[in-house]
Structure 1
């Protein structure tokens, strides 16, 4: 079935082409009517007689008589039927290609027409367009050309943020009685969206003028678009976080009148587009804020946060829910400076987040509060049939295929247990064709996890002469002559070629439930092409290192030159080169070891 977007563009082309053919046929009919008119033919006869008086004047009475006799008859133009539009298949294909955009370019991301706040508006992280850029194409609408721009594209969603009405932007004060021109333009855009079947969403990420809410949106979403981990993360943070506490005002509420907060270092200028704010946050250990949205982004940068609330029931419920999920968040509802000073002192004594606290915090932000998660929820609420329209879900970019070479049924059972226990479950598992006959892998298929078998690829297992009994014809494993002891990079590449997901994860043994979610979260934060424990410089004579403690220890969330891949881009793994040379070929590698021992992860209630 052709996606709705392409079908709509083709229908627009067909209608435009038919209108052009009708106009051309009408022009031909008018020209024929003029050429067949009596006045024109009389003028032509007189002109011909004037050019040749000797012969023309002799024939002029006869010609005029014939014109008089035929003047009452139906003109030749009238006898000609209305010309039907000629629809050319080649022209239709050409016009459809032009309407679809650049030739050969297929972008299946969500197309959002947005009235959004810019980087210089609002408080911490007010740029909604940049927050969802990895998962959606954002078409900004401005008051002077919103009607023309919106009418010229086939958008999938109209997104309007309340923060766009803040002073200083092109849509400042929209929805207020004093600014009727911008409100009128936005109302026209909403009416056009409703007529064309484009859902509209109002994002309450700041103070909302009453007139803006009354324009009639299909859905009103309370809050912002979550935490954009590709913008706020602890990647390349300072090795020693000693600064703070840092006072981070929300930019929405008026500044707090407190001597305690006045004595703290205050966040410098808000977003400037150069990343200064994020660099400053990566070098402090603790911070205080009065906005829970800002608190989430501070936590994503690895900062321990004290959230100061106003004591209302709604704010207390929100804070209690967040504290139960995020170990790096504490809160206070202090009404005087003495209580607030004690809370700040406790925050300072707690110091920087530990490695396990930071990893657990990032994990929960990725699963519950990331921008792509909230955008996916909005999309499912207003556009449930987005898959049939040719739009990929925002979470598709984080899907993973596990690559494995199980040696025997015991390892296959361990593989099945690890895959089913993951907080970020993989989409599929790729194994050698000979290993698909292991009974333990049937458990994965029974739970809805597809098993992709790669033919002509030897499975890993005991080789003859090792003193290990080789399974017979009972179907529990492949024949002994097809088994090898250790997979090579070429073997991993053969498995990766069958994957249909952007990411692949080599499985080399037992892992915990947070194995994949931590790796995918690290890739989301860093934009790296491969994630795994850092390794010493690799030489061609060195074998691939085992999963030792030295390979698992070391710095995390920093770029390095060699890793043992826990997660890698499918195309990178499919090249078949040794991971030790990936960085020499320009790949971005992020160091991420095994998470330190910690308490049970809160909120482990299944896949996100």
Structure 2
């Protein structure tokens, strides 16, 4: 029995083939333009006119090399055979994509940009910290100017820490490494001609040559805490009370008694210890994010300041005696880091000063869905207005349309259907929040902070009573509440059989748990509020305590 193909599927396949064909044609044209001798001769002449002192002397040699290259290319092209036709055995509807075999950075040449592009002299740790918020293109000395010209980044970032140690840019700015300084100056000049800002990130002692670079702005100290790397997820309540001494200088802080030492920012090391003694702001903020009580020789908000040996010993002893932070204490610390010291916050401030229209804070946009059973409309409006982090939009059922006038400054969308499915269909942001009455003023901030830390697909609130009674009663209550709101929530009752229960000190942890109330989730998961089904489908669920 033959199955008739779906007309819509056929149309989409045809459109996809046409689009791939256009992309392939554009890629071929771009390659032809970039490889043409005319363009390369023009670039060489312009470069010589722009920097006559050095480029004019090299101009005859560069033109000779172009002539030799073009001659070899002509001979090779005449001797090559035509490319074979595509195999007739290939699956129907497949078109060779010009993106195959290219790295993500190389795809930026032909792919449309949907994110900020940052190129620069960066450490691997900085690349990992920036990747969730931008396309990062690390530069190397042998191809720095070429990569900068081809990628045309929105921002060039030169990190002082990448110019130390044993990396490709080691000793940049030192008088003994003038070749590397010359290359980075060429990148700076090329970027500034195109109107791209160049920033020097001085997170380490800078060599004299670095301080003389003609950059547009200098950022002193830390660029912010990457919460997706440093966070309090899955902390061990019984972690070691032996202080972890982290130092960036030649002499570590002298702490009496047994200590552990660290010289690099390592999330695992910070999570293993309940107390950290540090001498830099960057290390202090990262240790705070990982749940440690911090004693710092420099003033840092949230850390105990110990400027001398006597106060250092006293503050360290007090931190060891206090033990690991309570859940409420850690929530306050993480909330402050999320609002003031997180990497996307500081990066957004930097981009604003440079006049760049980019959105590293776009991941904090969320749609709040309000069901008809959300309580009194005036109380609901007051709770939403009191949020310390405003939502990107609020979706209301049609019967609560009058509440929109009490929510100034926030886009309000009305769902014509009125049911949960209608609210989800009307939402526009990739993540949605199911709003229930009684939420505190930090509810949205805490949820989005947990999302930024975890990258989870869904976040649920663990009721305080669930840890004490195994979650059965609370799972039933959660199910009743969803049913009252007209939401289908299959499987909530048996989630605990798969994920287990946790004690009061469990904190943030991945897994579907008994009594877990799904609150924030991807929009495509929201049709059925079933944490157990989400987990079976491979979704990452984060449980956070209620409160």
TM-score, scaled to structure 1: 0.65
Q: What stretches of structure 2 of length at least 5 have no aligned partner?
A: 1-25, 40-96, 483-495
Q: Per-residue displacement from partner, 1:300-348 (whole Å, max 9, x unpaired)? A: 0000000013xxxxxxxxx2xx43xx3xx211111x4x44322222222
For residue 535 of structure 2, the aligned residue among 577, 583, 589 is 583
* Residues 17 and 117 of structure 1, relative CA distance in 2, 3 Å threshold: closer
Question: Does the aligned pair in 2 maintain the 1:403–1:506 contact within 8 Å?
Answer: yes
Question: Does the aligned pair in 2 maintain the 1:247–1:264 contact within 8 Å?
Answer: no
Question: Does the aligned pair in 2 maintain the 1:240–1:283 contact within 8 Å?
Answer: no
What is the CA–CA distance in structure 2 between the aligned matches of 1:159 and 1:113, rounded to whole Å? Answer: 6
Residue range with higher mean Cα deviation, 338-347 or 11-20 = 11-20
* Residues 105 and 434 of structure 1, relative CA distance in 2, 3 Å threshold: farther
* Residues 141 and 454 of structure 1, relative CA distance in 2, 3 Å threshold: same
| 1:101 aligned onto 2:97 | no
Aligned to 1:429: 394
* Residues 177 and 228 of structure 1, relative CA distance in 2, 3 Å threshold: same
Q: Per-residue displacement from partner, 1:369-392 (whole Å, max 9, x unpaired)? A: 0011111111111134x2xxxx5x
Question: Does the aligned pair in 2 maintain the 1:159–1:201 contact within 8 Å?
Answer: yes
Q: Per-residue displacement from partner, 1:360-418 (whole Å, max 9, x unpaired)? A: 0000100110011111111111134x2xxxx5x0111111111001348x621122111
Shift of 1:237: 1.3
Aligned to 1:166: 164
What is the CA–CA distance in structure 2 between the aligned matches of 1:280 and 1:525, rounded to whole Å? Answer: 17
For residue 560 of structure 1, the aligned residue among 481, 490, 511 is 511
| 1:524 aligned onto 2:452 | yes
| 1:351 aligned onto 2:351 | no
Shift of 1:215: 1.3
Q: Per-residue displacement from partner, 1:249-283 (whole Å, max 9, x unpaired)? A: 12xx212373x35x442334636xxxxx3223222
Question: Does the aligned pair in 1 maintain the 2:172–2:180 contact within 8 Å?
Answer: yes
Shift of 1:155: 0.9
What is the CA–CA distance in structure 2 between the aligned matches of 1:223 and 1:194, rounded to whole Å? Answer: 24
| 1:267 aligned onto 2:261 | yes
Aligned to 1:406: 372
Aligned to 1:91: none
Residue range with higher mean Cα deviation, 12-21 or 137-146 = 12-21
* Residues 257 and 383 of structure 1, relative CA distance in 2, 3 Å threshold: closer
What is the CA–CA distance in structure 2 between the aligned matches of 1:255 and 1:171, rounded to whole Å? Answer: 26
Shift of 1:543: 7.5
Aligned to 1:375: 347
Shift of 1:161: 0.7
1:71-82 aligned at under 5 Å gives the runs: none
1:335-346 aligned at under 5 Å gives the runs: 336=309, 338-346=310-318
Tell me the number of residue pairs that the alignment of Structure 1 and Structure 2 aligns. Answer: 436
* Residues 12 and 295 of structure 1, relative CA distance in 2, 3 Å threshold: farther
Q: Per-residue displacement from partner, 1:540-576 (whole Å, max 9, x unpaired)? A: x96743579x999843211121421121122221x43
Aligned to 1:395: 361
Shift of 1:115: 0.5
Higher Cα Rg, which structure: 1
For residue 289 of structure 2, the aligned residue among 290, 293, 300 is 300
Shift of 1:105: 5.7
Aligned to 1:237: 235
Secondary structure of 2:277's aligned partner = strand
Question: Does the aligned pair in 2 maintain the 1:398–1:502 contact within 8 Å?
Answer: no
What is the CA–CA distance in structure 1 between the aligned matches of 2:208 and 2:108, rounded to whole Å? Answer: 41
Shift of 1:238: 0.9
Q: What stretches of structure 1 of length at least 5 have no aligned partner?
A: 1-9, 24-93, 119-126, 272-276, 310-318, 459-490, 596-608
| 1:507 aligned onto 2:435 | yes
Shift of 1:502: 2.3
Aligned to 1:289: 278
Secondary structure of 2:376's aligned partner = helix
Shift of 1:20: 6.1
Q: Per-residue displacement from partner, 1:442-469 (whole Å, max 9, x unpaired)? A: 111xx121111111335xxxxxxxxxxx
What is the CA–CA distance in structure 1 between the aligned matches of 2:155 and 2:399, rounded to whole Å? Answer: 47
Question: Does the aligned pair in 1 maintain the 2:253–2:279 contact within 8 Å?
Answer: no
What is the CA–CA distance in structure 2 between the aligned matches of 1:412 and 1:190, rounded to whole Å? Answer: 56
| 1:254 aligned onto 2:250 | yes
| 1:279 aligned onto 2:268 | yes
Question: Does the aligned pair in 2 maintain the 1:537–1:561 contact within 8 Å?
Answer: no
Question: Does the aligned pair in 1 maintain the 2:199–2:216 contact within 8 Å?
Answer: yes
For residue 418 of structure 2, the aligned residue among 444, 457, 476 is 457
Shift of 1:523: 1.3
What is the CA–CA distance in structure 2 between the aligned matches of 1:232 and 1:589, rounded to whole Å? Answer: 18
Q: Per-residue displacement from partner, 1:173-202 (whole Å, max 9, x unpaired)? A: 111211101000000000010111111111
Question: Does the aligned pair in 1 maintain the 2:247–2:263 contact within 8 Å?
Answer: no
* Residues 283 and 542 of structure 1, relative CA distance in 2, 3 Å threshold: same
Aligned to 1:441: 404
Q: Per-residue displacement from partner, 1:41-98 (whole Å, max 9, x unpaired)? A: xxxxxxxxxxxxxxxxxxxxxxxxxxxxxxxxxxxxxxxxxxxxxxxxxxxxx99999
What is the CA–CA distance in structure 2 between the aligned matches of 1:266 and 1:19, rounded to whole Å? Answer: 56
TM-score, scaled to structure 2: 0.72
* Residues 22 and 538 of structure 1, relative CA distance in 2, 3 Å threshold: farther
Aligned-residue RMSD, C-alpha: 3.5
Question: Does the aligned pair in 1 maintain the 2:432–2:521 contact within 8 Å?
Answer: yes
Secondary structure of 1:152's aligned partner = helix
